[in-house]
Every structure is written in structure tokens, then in C-alpha cells.
Amino acid sequence: MYSLLHKEEAAHEESIWSCAWGRIKVRPEGAEDENDDNSRDSTASKKDASGSQAEYRDFIVTGGVDDTVKIWDVLPDRSKFKLRNTFTGHSLGVVSVDVSTSGEVIASSSLDSSLCIWKAETGQLMNQISVGPVDLWTVAFSPCDKYIISGSHEGKISLYSVETGKAEQVLDPQNGKFTLSIAYSPDGKYIASGAIDGIINIFDVAAGKVAQTLEGHAMSVRSLCFSPDSQMLLTASDDGHMKLYDVAHSDVVGTLSGHASWVLSVSFSGDGKNFASSSSDKTVKIWNVAERQCLHTFTEHADQVWGVRYSPDSANVISVSEDKCINMYDCPPNVV
């Protein structure tokens, strides 16, 4: 059943604003035995594209007001985290972090108006991109891992090359406002951005322009994410509501309420059946997409919960808070 698996107290010296879940492929020696079913651990074990057995090691990335980015290895039994590395390239609080699909590269953005690109294993700073003041908030990788996207105070979306650190493309919504949240659809076709005025833009990446503008929220859109099949967009706002949009038709297919205050972060499960939300009401909630209902509420944080993320296998959720803690929860995929 739903439960708190681990609480990492004083994980940062100050508030933790962002988190991400990473998974890197580890090919064990002699991994040809397809029937070896012994590793149901940290590391999920499954066939890769070549048909051979591949193991995956899970890790967590957090960004804090203490200017640091930290990498935590998730122990195989999910009982606790182990701090592997601390990245110290930012001079002000870290606002956003993301991990590439491959698990090999980490991106972070800071109040110092810089975007840092790191090698996950070594902590080597690959690139540091400086942009204008207050011109950077949320960052996210493209599904192909070649680009990192970020928004600006004018609502423009920049696609930066991971390799060179240069802006390869800029998407301009015209008359846009400060971009608080950003997401790349898993199929690579769309980028969604949420602004401080509650407006959501969905950009067609290939066409380089706004495909749809959604006006469902009355206040700032703090977080948004696409469903794994790219068919739905989930948005969270300071108005206390979450909305599900049909991306193709830009229709609102559901409005979910239940938090007592601002909804700060949302994250779909990998199977698309559930999603998690976190709020300044100090709670984390798990929701069923089909039923549009709250399945469980976690109350283990002592202050507002800035970030929440589902694990790649949909079995766990992590959250980070103003209380300097990282919480990991057991969220069985099949419990309704």
C-alpha cells in the first residue's frame, strides 16, 4: 500500500526547490541469460533494443537554495539514498533540474541566470550558458537528449545544444509573459510552456510557432507535463486547480481540485495511469487519470512541497520541500 519509504532529512542546507529521477543503463558482465530473474532491485532489469538483458541504476537529482545540485543513488531495496556527488557551479539558488533520457547528462538552472550542463557520473561541467537577468527558470531535455529547453521573461523558448551550449532555435509566442514551467512532449513534436499570467502555449517544434494557446487557469502555471503517449497535457496552477487537456483538440477533459493552496508541481507516472501533485499545503497527492480521483494524500512534509517526480517504473514517487527533506514513497501502480 501507499507508504513513506524514506525521508532524507537536511538533504540540503536550505530549501530544496527541484528534483528529477534519473536512470542509467548498466550492462552487467555475462548478462546474456534471459531467464535470470534475480535482480528486481534498484535497478530494474529488462531487455534493451538489442534484445539482450540490461540493468538500470536509479538515482535522484535535487537542486537547492544553497546553490548546489546533488546526486543521490537509490539503494536497491529503496530503503534510503546515498549521496554520490555535489555539484557547485551556481552562485545562487538552483531553480530547476532535469536528467537526460540516457541518464548520462544533467541540466540545472539557477537564479544566477545560468544554465549548467553536467556529466552525471563525474560531475564534470560540460557547458555553462549565461542568459539575461531573470531570463531563465525551468529547464527540460528534449526526448532525443540533444537539446535543453528553457523559457524567458518574454515567454520565448530557447533550445540549447547539449554539445555546444549554443541556442539552436528560439520559439516566440509574441507578447508572452514570464515562463514559469516548460515541458517537451515524449514524441518530440510539442513544447508546452506555462506563464505567470496563467496562459499556456503549445508550440509545434517543427513549424517553429505556437500551435495552441490555452487559457484555463486564472493564476500562474507553476508546472506542466505531457502524458507518456503525448496525448494529454497536465497543468498545475496557483489557483489551486490542475487541468488535463487533450493536446490534439486543446479541450479541457478534466479539472481536478483537492489541494488547499497553490499546486507547485505535477508528474505523470511512466504508465500514464496516475499522476502525482505537490502543493504549498505541505501535501503530496496521487491521482488516478481515468477516474480523475485522488487515491492517496501524503502528509509527511513540514512545509510547502516544491517538487514531485514519479520513478521511471511508476512504483515510487519522490518529493522535495522547503523543509530541506527529500521523501520517497511507495506508490504501487495497481492499487486503485
CATH number at residue 67: 2.130.10.10
Residue 35: inside a domain: no
Cell of 119: 556529466
Residue 69: inside a domain: yes
The domain tally of the chain equals 1
**CA angle 321-326-327, nearest 5°?**
105
229, 240 Cβ separation under 8 angstroms: no
What DSSP letter does each residue of 62-124 carry, written as one string?
EEETTS-EEEEEEPTTSS-EEEEEEE---SS-EEEEEE-TTSSEEEEEETTSEEEEEETTT--
pLDDT tens-digit map of 307-320: 999 999 999 999 99
- The pLDDT-based confidence of 29 (bands split at 50, 70, 90) is low
Query: Among positive and negative, which fits the CA dihedral 1, 254, 272, 24?
Result: negative
Residue 30: inside a domain: no
User: What's residue 152's pLDDT?
Assistant: 87
Res. 33: pLDDT tops 50: no
Cell of 77: 531495496
Place of cell 500562474: 220
Residue 121: inside a domain: yes
pLDDT tens-digit map of 117-170: 999 999 999 999 998 766 678 999 999 999 999 998 889 999 999 999 999 999
User: What's residue 35's pLDDT?
Assistant: 36
Residue 295: inside a domain: no
Q: Specify the DSSP class assigned to residue 8.
A: E
User: What's residue 40's pLDDT?
Assistant: 34
Residue 39: inside a domain: no
For range 53-62, the mean pLDDT: 88
Q: Which structural domain, as residue segments, surrounds residue 125?
A: 14-23+56-265
Residue 285: inside a domain: no
pTM of the prediction?
0.91
Instruction: Quote the CA–CA distance of 189 and 326 in Å, as a whole number.
Output: 33
Residue 330: inside a domain: no
